[in-house]
Amino acid sequence: MVVDRLDRLGFYAALHPAIPAIVRYLERADLIRVPAGRSELPGGVGLIREAYLTKPLSDCALEGHLRHADLQIVLSGAESMGWLPRSLGQHRVTNPYDAEKDVEKYQARRIGRVDLSEGMFALVFPDDLHMPKIMQEDPVRVEKAVFKIPLQEE
């Protein structure tokens, strides 16, 4: 998982060819004005614009993807994100893989956490099991944009 400030996203352009295109998109788009829901961008990149209240860790879900990387950008608010490398094998499947949604859900005894605030992003790959939406102290409203970056032909 890569965590950084959004203004530094260009430094990670070599990680995937879609990242420079996303940087160009961000230069001309005001994500906070993008309506809630899913849209498709060139190159098969999906954009999910969402808003929610953060919640206790016990109410959040650890998830993973096989065919996409997530670029999760906090537009406003703050949350914690749980993280656990899939390759450690310290998790168990609670909801089997849904190929249509490219998601599988898990439980784990212990996960790491990182705090994300406005203007930060987390870039997660298939080895990065992640748990978004965790409240830091109290529930707060988070505005987020999630770019779904395809990693292989679908």
pLDDT, one tens digit for every residue, the chain (154 residues): 999 999 999 999 999 999 999 999 999 999 999 999 999 998 899 999 999 999 999 999 999 999 999 999 999 999 999 999 999 999 999 999 999 999 999 999 999 999 999 999 999 999 999 999 999 999 999 999 999 999 975 4
Count of domains forming the chain: 1
Per-residue burial over 20-34, b = 16 or more CB atoms within 10 Å of its CB, e = otherwise: ebbeebbeeeebeee
Query: The domain that contains 127 carries what CATH number?
Result: 2.60.120.370
The residue segments making up the domain with residue 6 are: 2-150
